[in-house]
Structures are given as structure tokens and as C-alpha cells.
Amino acid sequence: MTYSGNQLIKVEDAGVNVSLSASMDFKDKSHTSKEYYYDRNGRLAKDLNKGIDTISYNLLNLPRSLTISASSNSVTNTYMYAADGRKLKTNISGKKTDYCGNVIYENNTLKSILIDGGYIEGGKYYFYLTDHLGNNRVVANESGTIVQSNHYYPYGMSFTEGTQTSSQPYKFGGKELDTQKGLNWYDFEKRQMDPVIGRFPTPDPLAEKYYSVSPYVYCDNNPMNRIDPDGRDSYLLIWFSKDNETGHAGIAVDNYKLQKVMDSKGKPVLDSKGNYTYEMVKDGTMTYYDLWPNDEVGMSELQSNVKSDYSKGIKINSISDLMRKDPTGSRSGNVSAEGRAADGIVQIDTDYDQDVKIKGYASGTANSGKMYNASEFNCSTFAENALKKAFPALDASQFVKVPFSLRLLYKNTRVVAPNNLYNAAMKLPGATNISGPKSVVAKPYLEYYGK
């Protein structure tokens, strides 16, 4: 691979080209000195190996049209997006697709309905089996018959083997794959991704936060341990309860390290006095905090301060560990850990300064030993207060008017519960769910009183 700065300009593949045209291996169709061209905004404009002649973009740096040449003819794909980047409509090789939330139409006919963990198509339910990174590995129908199996190279290029009686396109990372005319790009919402060369064709929209990382690479060139839904930094973890009233909440924040600033040629950037310059960059790990009561809370204690028990900064080694492991067991109190990974994780767009504020509150409060109060300062209040350091307008509380029959025990109050916090966090700018549903049922906390 040959580069100009961070931009890939040429690829030479010494391997033998696979004769199967539909295979995803790299097709070395050009041997000129420059095979990839970019516009003034750093966006890919031409790819001679794939036969991409032109790409035009909208103001969000998402493709508006793409012309790709095949052996016999060329086609122009068109794309339409909402102002917030949601894909609304595509016309790819003459196939018109409309995206109406989770309902997808092809050529004005209902194609499928996307649901958590699968989809409905032709009146039948299909479900996904995923690996630890969220990649769809097996697709089976309602009777359990496998209709598609997928095996991936690290960056999402698929092996040739595997059951393929279904052409459903949501595969690596659960993202939609476009294979028409050999394009083989995944739609990662904020950008497209080419799994064959492991790169995005457009710069990272958060590139100014990560100067030491190429703006074109996928998940910091570490796809075995990391995922990149679209570049978020703080994480709200929720464990749902069967009654949708209680549950548990915790907060995880990215960790950073100090690193020399390097230029595009790998040389240190010096200040006006000739000294090295430094920046804070993510190191790939996170720190987890949460709040518990030290003992089970009795009915007479629902609005009383009781002894607290905190997770005081549990190190989590990777995104995959965050999604697969239970971080709630490293405490000294008498309340049992959740015993499973979080049911829902909201990944929230924060920068270094915001992460410092969130972590500062969580760490400071945990080490202060502030008392637990099931109504006024519970696990969800703790997590919400931490997030409020970056998002002051966040409000997941609900007003509880206590029935007259319970007035001797309780007073009217405002309560933050896990499910309400999950729904509120999903509305924050740039928030996305990397695990669990997009929203959850949140019963009035009032129903918990008196049980």
C-alpha cells in the first residue's frame, strides 16, 4: 500500500485474482502510479480498482451519488439522507429502497421489518446469532433452520464458505452491506467502510479529537478488540428488571494516555521553542462506576438514607469486555452482583474534557461514601448526575405522587429509575445503543411503593 500522508493512493496485490466475480477479495484492476483520488475535503472521489468513476457528497459528507463501472456497463447509485444523517432512500442498480424507520420497502413493496435481534420478511420471523463484537454470524428462521452463515476476516470481509440461501444484507457489526457491481461497502451510518482494505473512504467526523490516529482507519486498526458503531466515548450501562420499574444503572468512561503529537510523516510536532507537543488520546480501556445500598433496602427505608456501597473505578479492558462481562461484583457490600452483562448499553458522544468531568464526579462521589437513598440518590441518580456534568439539561426523573393511604410512610418526590434514564440517554446528541433495545418500557415508579 502506498500513501500520501494519511490518504491511500495505490494498492498492489501479489496474490492471484479470484475468478469468482462475486467474491469480496481485493480486485487489483489498476496498476497506475495513482489509483485513489480525493476531493479538497479529503473524501474519496475515484477508485480505479473498484471502477468508481465519481462520488458526490452532501453537507454531512455522506454520498449523494456514486458512479461505478462494471465489465459491461456503468451504473449511478443515488442516496438520500435526513438532516441528522438517517438514510431515507437509495437507488442502487435500479433497485429503489425506502427506509421508513425500521420498515424497509423495495420498489414500493414491503421488503422487511427490522426488529431487535432479527427481522420479519415475507410474514416469517428470522433471528441473528452474533459474536462478541456484535457481528451477525448466523441467520435462522422461526423453525431454527439456518438460512445464512457468515465468517469474517478481521475488518469484515467475508469468507467464501457459509450457508447463503438468504441475501439479507446486515452482517459485520450488524451493518448493511452493498455488494452491487463489486462495491462491497458497509454502511456505518456516519460513513461507509471498505472491509477489503479496512478503511473508510471519508475522514472521521471526530478526527480533531484523535490527532495521532489516521482519520481513515477502522476502530484504531484494532478490529479484534474494538468496535466502531460511529465513534462514541462514554457508556451508560443498564440492567433491566422483569417489572420494568427498578433494575440497575452504572457509568463507564474512556481512559486516556498522554502521547506525543506526530505529523503525517511520523515526526514529532514541536512548539515555537522546539519542545515536543503532547495530546490526550484514548488508550482503549474504560473505567466503571456504580452505586448500591450496602444491604437490601426495606420497605420502610425507601426514602431514608442508608449505608452505600460503590464500584470505585473498575477497569474494563475493551469494548467487547464491556458488552460481555459483568462489572458489578467488585464491591464489599451485602447486595449480590447482577451476575450478567448489561442488558442495554448507550454509547454517548463525549470529548476528553467532558469525560474528565464525568469521571471526576463519579470518582469523587464514590470515594466520598455518600449515602444511598432509593428515592433521592439511587444508582440511576448517581449515573445521571455524572452525565449531567457534560449534559446539564439531561433529566430522567419522574414525579411520584404518593397515594393518601401511604402518606404516613412516604412523601411526594421525584425519582430517577434505570429504564427512564436509558430512554433519556438515548435522546442525547450522538447517542446510540451498542447493546439492547433503542427504548424500553418504563412503568411509573409509584407502582414500586407499597410492594
pLDDT (average), residues 259-280? 81
Q: Final residue of a domain: which of 221, 248, 270? A: 221
Residues 240, 114 share a domain: no
Residues 240, 217 share a domain: no
Residues 289, 328 share a domain: yes
How far, in Å, are 9, 35, 253, 290, 301 from residue 264 at the CA level? 14, 20, 29, 41, 60
pLDDT (average), residues 333-347? 93
Instruction: Supply the pTM of this predicted model.
Output: 0.56
Q: Final residue of a domain: which of 221, 250, 265? A: 221
Phi, psi of 382 (to 5 degrees): -60, -50
Residues 127, 244 share a domain: no
Weakest-pLDDT range from 183-192, 259-268, 313-322, 337-346: 259-268
Residues 311, 253 share a domain: yes
For residue 229, tell me if it sits in a domain. Answer: no
For residue 227, tell me if it sits in a domain. Answer: no
Confidence of residue 169 (pLDDT cuts 50, 70, 90): very high
Length reported for the chain: 451
- In this model, does residue 93 exceed pLDDT 60? yes
Task: Rank 3-12, 77-86, 381-390, 435-444 by mean pLDDT and report only the highest.
Answer: 381-390
Amino acid making up residue 57: Y
For residue 305, tell me if it sits in a domain. Answer: yes
Residues 437, 350 share a domain: yes
Number of separate domains in the chain = 2
Condensed to tens digits (0 to 9), the pLDDT of residues 97-146 reads 999 988 999 999 999 999 878 999 999 999 999 887 778 999 999 999 99
The predicted structure's pLDDT at residue 228: 64
User: 311 is in which domain, residue-wise?
Assistant: 234-448
Residues 284, 187 share a domain: no
Residues 107, 187 share a domain: yes
Confidence of residue 243 (pLDDT cuts 50, 70, 90): low
The predicted structure's pLDDT at residue 37: 95
Residues 428, 307 share a domain: yes
Residues 380, 280 share a domain: yes
The predicted structure's pLDDT at residue 86: 85
- Give the three-state DSSP class for 239: strand
More confident residue, 1 or 271: 1
Q: Final residue of a domain: which of 221, 248, 279? A: 221
pLDDT (average), residues 297-319? 89
- In this model, does residue 412 exceed pLDDT 80? yes
Could you give the CA distance from residue 119 to residue 109 in angstroms, rounded to a whole number?
16
For residue 98, tell me if it sits in a domain. Answer: yes
Condensed to tens digits (0 to 9), the pLDDT of residues 356-407 reads 899 999 999 999 999 999 889 999 999 999 999 999 999 999 888 877 777 7
For residue 166, tell me if it sits in a domain. Answer: yes
Confidence of residue 232 (pLDDT cuts 50, 70, 90): very low
The predicted structure's pLDDT at residue 164: 77
Element (H, E) at 446: none
End-to-end CA distance of the chain: 65
CB under 8 Å to 37, separation ≥6 — which residues? 44, 45, 46, 47
Q: Are 209 and 319 in contact (CB under 8 A)?
A: no
For residue 226, tell me if it sits in a domain. Answer: no
For residue 437, tell me if it sits in a domain. Answer: yes
For residue 242, tell me if it sits in a domain. Answer: yes
The predicted structure's pLDDT at residue 64: 94
More confident residue, 179 or 201: 201
pLDDT (average), residues 71-84? 84
The predicted structure's pLDDT at residue 231: 41
Condensed to tens digits (0 to 9), the pLDDT of residues 219-231 reads 777 787 666 655 4
Q: State the angle between helix axes of 418-425 and 379-388 in degrees (0 to 180), rounded to the nearest 10.
A: 20
Residues 106, 169 share a domain: yes
Confidence of residue 17 (pLDDT cuts 50, 70, 90): low
Residues 245, 208 share a domain: no
The predicted structure's pLDDT at residue 229: 58
Could you give the CA distance from residue 327 to residue 349 in angstroms, rounded to a whole number?
22
- In this model, does residue 448 exceed pLDDT 60? no
Could you give the CA distance from residue 255 to residue 17 in angstroms, rounded to a whole number?
43
Mean pLDDT of the chain: 86
